[in-house]
Every structure is written in structure tokens, then in C-alpha cells.
């Protein structure tokens, strides 16, 4: 699951939302396209002009250079989409993803840790389901000349884009997901609401797994991807141990919980990582060796031929 909040430094979000709303209407302008309306927690038939008006009118006491809204991208992986399509048709999958988006925005609201911001009802937000993705200049295929910018990407690409107002539903509280002070600047956090983007993205992954009963492997977790890409040598070492032990562990959830701890730098050594579960690293490795031996043992049942005197092994 890829969930990303567009940084105000790279998004044109200091003025009207009209430009972004118009851009996200692009699939509705395709020939013979089935019209996709905007939705939120209360309705799923919002027109583009309604979205623009409600976002643009919810900007009390925001300055010219203040962000007025943010863009949240919710993109399931191919494995996650295949899981949904296994037992549902296309229209059903669309409705499932829309319902999931509401749950994600509930977590978005709660992540600000504000007493009066409890769920998505306390936000002004609108989402649009999109069916396609297109290559950009940042894609490897474009850089290597294999694809052109603007070409449609292959495979199932269903995803959701969310425009959420900087101000709460009452147009009184400023909410910025770009504030990650986490209490270090108390006064700033009181004004903007502290927001842990990593925790928010992690919640999105957990919600998908629980809501859709998706059996996520360690290598498909955000924690694993973050450590492999950005982690220290020690973090990658710890993750390698978890990766090796995943196939033999009876408790997959514990493995993923440890992986999240590794990503958050909770453990300084593999020994401390395993000690947190009441298991020593030695016992854990013993289990791995034992299981590996069992897996290899059937080949050893084959009777051996007696070696004749004077005959050596051939290499």
C-alpha cells in the first residue's frame, strides 16, 4: 500500500483548488468514459464545482502564502488489488476502495491528536477514484527511452486521490500534515496539530489487512521497504534475520511487529530485538537451523553405494 501526502513545497496549493480538481477530472474527459463522481464520508455524487467551492471557501485566516489544501494519494499494490478482485467484480472493488478511503481519512483526522478532531466528519475532504496511471519523467522506463511521458501504465492501476482542506470542518482549526514536531515545539503543535506521517501510512496498511483479511508478507510491508531503502547497516541486519525466520515462524504478526520496531530504531542489536519477545537470538537461530535440516532431510534417505577399495570420488 502506497500512501503519500504531497508536500506543499512541490504542490500548487496556496491558491484555489480549481486547478487540481480540473486535473483530477481528466478520466471523465476520455471518450466513452464512465463518469466518476467525487465522494467523501457522507455522499458519493459530488460534482467537480462543488468540490472546488467547498475547499476554496474553507480558508478562514489563512494567508496568501499558506497552504489551503493537501493531496493524499492512496494506491494499493498489484497484490492488494488482485486480492480484492479475486472475489469481487470491478464495481464492487471500486466501492470497497471508497469505503477504505473513508477509514484512511478517519485515521488522518485522529493522527493530529486534537481533542476536537476525532474522525473524517471533522474534516473537509473529497476523493476521486482513478483507473489509470501514466508514465512521468521520473519513471525509469522513460529515462531509459522504453516509454514516453504520458503513456498509460500497464496492469490494474486503480487508486484514489484525496483533496483535504487545511482547515477543519468548522473552518476554525489549522491542520497541517507537514508538521511532524511530535511535541518538540509545543506551541507550534498546539496551533497546527502534530502529525506522524509514518504512523499514518502504517495505519493505512494495518486497516487494509484487517478490513480485507489480506495476508501481508514481511517483504510487502512498509517497514521492510523503508529499512531496505533507507535503513542503517544494523537495521538491515536485523531485518535479514526476520526475513530468514518468517517462513518458519508460527506467529507472522509478531514478525511484522518486530519489523516495525526495527524501522523505528527500537533495537540496537538483534539480541535486544529478540529479547523483546522473550526469545533469545540463539534460540531463534536454532529453530531456523532445525527447520532447514528437516526440509533437507528427505534427500538423505536415499541408500548410499559402497565405495570400492582404491576408488576415489569424482569431481
pLDDT at 252: 84
Residue 291 to residue 8: CA distance in whole angstroms: 51
Residue 59 to residue 3: CA distance in whole angstroms: 25
C-alpha cell of 242? 526476520
Q: Which fold has domain 2-211?
A: BirA Bifunctional Protein; domain 2 (3.30.930)
The length of the chain in residues reads 315
C-alpha cell of 143? 529515462
All structural domains of the chain with their residue ranges: 2-211, 217-296
pLDDT at 33: 79
pLDDT at 81: 97
Which residue positions in the chain have pLDDT lower than 70?
7-11, 180-193, 279-315
pLDDT at 300: 47
Give the H/E segment covering residue 162. strand 159-168
The C-alpha torsion from 75 through 124 and 26 to 93, rounded to 10°, is 40
250 φ/ψ angles, rounded to the nearest 5 degrees: -75, -15
Ordered DSSP codes for 8-63: TTTS--SS-SHHHHHHTTGGGGSTTPPP--BB-SS-S-B-HHHHHHHHHT--TT--
pLDDT at 213: 97
pLDDT digits (tens, 9 = 90+) for 56-113: 999 999 999 999 999 999 999 999 999 999 999 999 999 999 999 999 999 999 999 9
Residue 195 to residue 200: CA distance in whole angstroms: 8
Q: What is the residue whose three cell numbers read 455524487?
A: 45
What predicted TM-score, i.e. pTM, was given to this entire model?
Answer: 0.84
The number of C-alpha atoms within 13 Å of 204 and in the hemisphere containing its C-beta is: 28
Amino acid at each position: 500500500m502506497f500512501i503519500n501526502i504531497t508536500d506543499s513545497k512541490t504542490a500548487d496549493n496556496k491558491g484555489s483548488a480549481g486547478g487540481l480538481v480540473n486535473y483530477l477530472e481528466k478520466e471523465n474527459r476520455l471518450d466513452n468514459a464512465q463518469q466518476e463522481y467525487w465522494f467523501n464520508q457522507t455522499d458519493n455524487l459530488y460534482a467537480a464545482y462543488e468540490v472546488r467551492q467547498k475547499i476554496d471557501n474553507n480558508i478562514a485566516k489563512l494567508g496568501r502564502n499558506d497552504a489551503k489544501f493537501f493531496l493524499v494519494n492512496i494506491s494499493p499494490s498489484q497484490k492488494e488489488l488482485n486480492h480484492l478482485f479475486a472475489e469481487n467484480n470491478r464495481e464492487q472493488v471500486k466501492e470497497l476502495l471508497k469505503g477504505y478511503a473513508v477509514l484512511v481519512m478517519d485515521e488522518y483526522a485522529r493522527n493530529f491528536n486534537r481533542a476536537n478532531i476525532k474522525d473524517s466528519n471533522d474534516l473537509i475532504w473529497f476523493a476521486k477514484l482513478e483507473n489509470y496511471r501514466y508514465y512521468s519523467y521520473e519513471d525509469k522506463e522513460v529515462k531509459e527511452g522504453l516509454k514516453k511521458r504520458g503513456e498509460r501504465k500497464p496492469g490494474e492501476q486503480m487508486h484514489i486521490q484525496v483533496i483535504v482542506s487545511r482547515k477543519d470542518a468548522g473552518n476554525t482549526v489549522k491542520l497541517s500534515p507537514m508538521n511532524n514536531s511530535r511535541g518538540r515545539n509545543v506551541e507550534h503543535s498546539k496551533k497546527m496539530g502534530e502529525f506522524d506521517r509514518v504512523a499514518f501510512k502504517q495505519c493505512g496498511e494495518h486497516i487494509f489487512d484487517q478490513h480485507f483479511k489480506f495476508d501481508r508478507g514481511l517483504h510487502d510491508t512498509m517497514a521492510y521497504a523503508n529499512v531496505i531503502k533507507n535503513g542503517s547497516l544494523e537495521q538491515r541486519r536485523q531485518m535479514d534475520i526476520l526475513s530468514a525466520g518468517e517462513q518458519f515462524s508460527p506467529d507472522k504478526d509478531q514478525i511484522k511487529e518486530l519489523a516495525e520496531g526495527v524501522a523505528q530504531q527500537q533495537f540496537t542489536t538483534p539480541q535486544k530485538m529478540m529479547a523483546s519477545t522473550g526469545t533469545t537470538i540463539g534460540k531463534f537461530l536454532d529453530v531456523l537451523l532445525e527447520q532447514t535440516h528437516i526440509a533437507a532431510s528427505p534427500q538423505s534417505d536415499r541408500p548410499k553405494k559402497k565405495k570400492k577399495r582404491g576408488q576415489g570420488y569424482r569431481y
